[in-house]
Structure 1
């Protein structure tokens, strides 16, 4: 075989180069920074640099959604550290509140409609997922009703998209009740009704989840009212609203006004000692105005108006006190005394509805400690709650209808119940 007959050697492989380094005439040439890439890079730089610069100049993230900012997750929480990191980062983004307000202003000014913020609350029918994904409903963060009334979208979604069946939630409540009573203590649950339940007449004619919400609300209260340890305040709240000539829930707020707080204090005291409030004198006091909690969720602002009350358990001396509203750590109420007050130790696990009840609880209970029931989340939380309740003769759980309807609240998680009951049994 001659040299000419030999097969040609394969060409030497060329070194790999970035496509932007190829000659412009080459078919695979791509510029490193095209015009769109440059614009995207500038936008990204502004997005990240503006909050960072604002932070350096003293701006800080604020609580504007009627809840505390999400705490930084603990590395000891396992994989949940990574899933909880995104909510923390979102909450602590500087200027987030201003961004929400700007988005709503642009949407209303340019397009003539409120910003959906990832939801569509004007469609009569729900938005559905693509066929390749399971069917999903998208509920609004805030539902705009008639006459300027606003409703928290979670009030609808929690009933229609339950995390667990209602029967399972009731079973968890009963397990907590049985465990508490097995230690010789009393157990009481106060459910704060949703505004959509108590004042449904201002809901829009059509909204996502309307039919399932009505059915679920009826089932929820039929089930809960049958539990002898549950206090149902709906009738008394409605009656007080009729007496006032207006509902005890403000048009732009998701919570009851002080009337709900007075009723909560009175009904719990009556549940523990029937007839204790016969001597009470409840007198309307000064009016108050505070920012409403629902408009900020839409990038707007609003105001809620209410009135204070003077509660004299003995019929003469007003014993209400301004005790603040920070009960993420145990808050002690121990100034009430005399006729018409309850003196045994009470441990109350509450939520945001408890805020407007605190002055009236302080007037009625001489030995009460209050803690937010979400505080049981995280390392040592169940131990703190268990120790608080272990020093009490009575355990009271105040919880919102929407929280129970959704199912799976932190206080009813099996591991939390186990931890709390373990402390009580000691």
Structure 2
């Protein structure tokens, strides 16, 4: 039986359309894809050759080119690299803002959750201290939390103020129980212990918050209970009345509109409250007055992709004895222990004091330095100081001040409540009591 005649080799694109093996050519589409890929990879390189450099417009380092050794991670890492290497990205963000404000009458939603990250100008990453965006909140139709809540008259609020109360990593009862366990260990060793929670801006200046934002209902419902537990079970110093009085005295809010921290007036309130708690009546000799104004970089615009936006604060003198100004320069970083000492002076605390705190301790350091003559600062959230080194700072102190911002306490983001840390503090302090 003879074999059927062999048909000449024909490219599948030339087969009749009705043929099962017909495949159309994609030459033009393939060429377009190739050109797009070349532009994707070559544009940042060409701009770099001609001297155009991308800038760090957010509070994170620029993403590097992914490694081929990352496997599939090479492909998932390319978008972050390409986004960060766009030298004109800052201009694009500014342009998006101008269009959004001019056409829609509102700021561009660069600070929304994961959905925003799918666009050409994705939202910046969240602060390392805050959890990633969560699901739709109970009681609200708005999906996801925001990094920054945009309020009235240009006021900005940190979105985690609300998220912490709605989706805590650890409930406030557990946190307060652990704080009291830490207090007991410190006081049993003969040392003094002071716990102080610094209020969120949304707590002290709520009047500029928008009528609606993700987390509004559940955070406002949780806040009174959280503060009750913080001040009763945790025995925290309650700074809210003194902060409100300071705001009334200066005739304006003492939290900056575009920053999550308080102004210098808040630092003075904290310093005075701590000294009066440790040694009542000591601040009766204090005298303080405005000395100058200064500008600093505001933190919330950074989360919106805006760089170089400043806040203006008023700097004060602080004369603990009524005559000698002891206010110093602000500390820039407490990821590792920072020691400050000064000569004894009436109106100050002379005992070796540890401030185990966060960025609000930094924002108050000029005035804490004036109030204490032997002071050590250390951040409780740092990874640059080992747990053993942190415990040593407890041992080397006669007074331990535990300072934490409200959102971290409500959200349970407080490493000092770790069981292993508390166990080590107990053991070390028991070995080195103060008599």
TM-score interval, smaller chain: 0.7 to 0.9
Structure 1 contact 104–115 (Cα < 8 Å) conserved: no
**1:186 and 1:156 mapped to 2: Cα distance?**
33
Question: What is the match of residue 398 of structure 1?
Answer: 403
- Give the corresponding residue for 1:103: 93
Q: Does the C-alpha gap of structure 1 residues 59 and 104 become closer, same or farther in structure 2, counting only changes over 3 Å?
A: closer
Deviations 1:153-197 (A, max 9, x none): 111111112112211111221222222222222211121111110
- Name the CA shift for 1:169/1:27 in 2 (closer, same or farther; >3 Å): farther
- The CA distance in 2 between the partners of 1:156 and 1:47, in whole Å, is 40
Q: Is the 8 A contact 1:288 1:305 kept in 2?
A: yes
CA 1:172 to 1:128, structure 2 compared with 1: closer, same or farther past 3 Å?
A: closer
> Aligned partners of 1:237 and 1:166: how far apart in 2?
23
Does 1:42 pair with 2:38? yes
Does the CA-based 8 Å contact 2:177-2:233 persist in structure 1? no
1:187/1:229 contact within 8 Å kept? no
* Structure 1: runs of 5 or more not aligned: 9-20, 73-82, 130-134
- 1:187–1:395 contact (8 Å) kept in structure 2: yes
Indicate the residue corresponding to 1:293 in structure 2: 299
How much has 1:213 moved relative to structure 2? 1.4
Q: For 1:306-385, list aligned pairs within 5 A.
A: 306-322=313-329, 324-375=331-382, 377=383, 381-385=386-390
Between the aligned partners of 2:174 and 2:81, the Cα distance in structure 1 is 31
TM-score (norm. length: structure 1): 0.78
| Aligned CA distance change for structure 1 residues 236 and 40 (closer, same or farther; 3 Å) | same
Aligned partners of 2:394, 2:215: CA distance in 1, in Å?
A: 38
TM alignment of 1:39-118, pairs within 5 A: 39-46=35-42, 49=45, 53=48, 62=56, 64-65=58-59, 99=89, 102-109=92-99, 112=104, 113-117=106-110
The equivalences for 1:278-289 within 5 A come to: 278-289=284-295
Question: Unmatched 5+ residue regions in structure 2?
Answer: 4-9, 15-20, 65-72, 115-132
**Is 1:389 the equivalent of 2:379?**
no
Q: Distance in 1 between matches of 2:236 and 2:374?
A: 22
SS at match of 2:108: coil
CA distance in 2, matches of 1:96, 1:413: 41
Specify which of 17, 22, 26 is matched with residue 27 of structure 1. Answer: 22
Change (3 A) 1:318 1:209: same
Q: Does 1:119 find its partner at 2:112?
A: yes
When the two chains are superposed, the root-mean-square deviation of aligned CA atoms in Å is 3.7
Counterpart CA distance in 1 for 2:168 and 2:412 is 6
Contact 1:265–1:357, Cα closer than 8 Å, also in 2 = yes
In structure 2, distance between residues paired with 1:34 and 1:165: 55
Q: Which moved more, 1:101-110 or 1:149-158?
A: 101-110
Residue number in structure 1 paired with 2:249: 243
Please name the residue that 2:220 is paired with. 214
**Residues 75-98 of structure 1 deviation map (CA, whole Å, 9 limit, x = unaligned):** xxxxxxxx9xx99x9799856897
Q: How far does residue 120 in structure 1 lie from its aligned partner after superposition? A: 6.9
Deviations 1:316-374 (A, max 9, x none): 11111115322211111102521111111111111111122111111111111001111
Q: 3-state DSSP class of the match of 2:401?
A: strand
1:79 is aligned to none
What corresponds to 1:416 in structure 2? 421
Within 1, Cα distance between the matches of 2:203 and 2:191?
A: 32
Moved more, 38-47 or 95-104: 95-104
Aligned CA distance change for structure 1 residues 184 and 403 (closer, same or farther; 3 Å): same
CA contact (8 A) 1:345 1:394 kept: yes
